[in-house]
Amino acid sequence: MIVDCALYRGGKRADRPPDFPAALREAREAGDAFLWIGLYEPTEAEFARVSRDFGLHPLAVEDSLRAHQRPKLETYADSLFLVLKPIAYEEETGELSTGELMVFVGDSFVLTVRHGRANPLGAVRERLEHTPSVLRHGPTAVMYAVSDTVVDHYLDVAAALHHDLDDLEAHVFSTEVRATASLAGRIYAFKRQALEFRRATVPLIDPVARLTGGRVPFVHDDSRFFFRDVADHLSRVNEQVESIDRLLTDILSAHLAQMGVRQNDDMRKISAWAAMFAVPTAIAGVYGMNFTHMPELHWIFGYPMALLLMLGVCLVLFRVFKSRGWM
């Protein structure tokens, strides 16, 4: 359950504490220290002890265990609760997976709870431990670093989606029928991924704006400048997601229009061939009625003449349809 646990003093990592309550008391007494615990998909029983030791609010604990939350920022008496949704994108398979990351910030402690495969925390902890000047700002620095890493990864995912979208657009405008036969399903699948991406990025605007505006408990006023950088990157991400969604709509419209044009071309060809077959069918039908008094019925050249008439009319129709682009 516990991925990592450490006590930080003055921006540097200390020994791992053997007992959470004792370590938390030590951090609060030191003044320049805080405790950072990382959890991965804890069960209710496993999380009960941690939440009891840190005095977490029951509603926040419930949200952390269910792990089906939108990005949000909630303030409680003893802690600040931030929900993020990391995104992982497999370029080889084109699959987008969403995780959940909860960050509790309180008096001299940070508690992170992670669900899903997307894992930005290992890199965050390592980066912060190599930059003591940032880490000595305390729990606020961890919240900023986690948010910044998640949002920066959004930019990478958006760039990968744009690259795959360019390939999809090239297939849509390809002249090969086999390349565009099943594109409608791919476009809809891509649009679902874009929608899932929006669900992770758009709701995060308000929490980041509140952190940027200041007057949030357990967040120092000096950290507003850091969160402004996160807000700027998040704005860029949302613009890119919006452009992806609009481009997907345009690609789908273009694909449907192309399918309609191809169907019209096919119908013209079918109609042209049907018209050519209708002429010999009509002539053969007239002479097949076997009436006694019919023109050229007993003429020795009547049969060859009928065949030549059928062939001649079909050739004339073929040239007419060919000149109009129907064949």
Report yes or no: 276 and 320 within 8 Å, Cβ to Cβ.
Answer: no
Q: 40 and 188: one domain?
A: yes
Cα 225 to Cα 220, 222, 231: the distances in Å are 10, 7, 10
Q: 185 and 239: one domain?
A: yes
Q: 221 and 273: one domain?
A: no
Looking at residue 232, its pLDDT comes to 93
Q: Which residue range(s) make up the domain with 289?
A: 260-323
Looking at residue 202, its pLDDT comes to 92
Is the pLDDT at 104 greater than 90? The verdict is: yes
User: What mean pLDDT is predicted for residues 301-319?
Assistant: 77
Is the pLDDT at 256 greater than 60? The verdict is: yes
pTM of the model: 0.75
Residue at a domain's end among 212, 229, 258: 258
Q: 283 and 249: one domain?
A: no
Residue with the two structure tokens 């930080």: 8
Looking at residue 263, its pLDDT comes to 73
Q: 247 and 315: one domain?
A: no
Residue at a domain's end among 231, 258, 285: 258
Report yes or no: 6 and 13 within 8 Å, Cβ to Cβ.
Answer: yes
Q: Tell me, what CATH number does 93's domain have?
A: 3.30.460.20
3-state secondary structure of 291: coil
Q: 162 and 264: one domain?
A: no
* Structure-token pair, residue 180: 């565009």
User: What mean pLDDT is predicted for residues 66-78?
Assistant: 87
Residue at a domain's end among 242, 258, 274: 258
Is the pLDDT at 179 greater than 50? The verdict is: no
Instruction: Report the Cα–Cα distance between both ends of the chain, in Å, rounded.
Output: 69
Q: 233 and 272: one domain?
A: no
Report yes or no: 47 and 61 within 8 Å, Cβ to Cβ.
Answer: yes
Q: How far apart are CA 161 and CA 90, in angstroms?
A: 10
Q: Tell me, what CATH number does 265's domain have?
A: 1.20.58.340
Q: 44 and 177: one domain?
A: yes
Q: Name residues whose C-beta falls within 8 Å of residue 139's C-beta, 6 or more positions apart in sequence.
A: 34, 36, 105, 106, 108, 109, 110, 218
Q: 267 and 254: one domain?
A: no
Q: 222 and 274: one domain?
A: no
Looking at residue 233, its pLDDT comes to 92
* Total count of domains within the chain: 2
Looking at residue 180, its pLDDT comes to 54
Q: Name residues whose C-beta falls within 8 Å of residue 65's C-beta, 6 or more positions apart in sequence.
A: 42, 43, 44, 47
Of 148-157, 179-188, 203-212, 263-272, the poorest mean pLDDT is in: 179-188
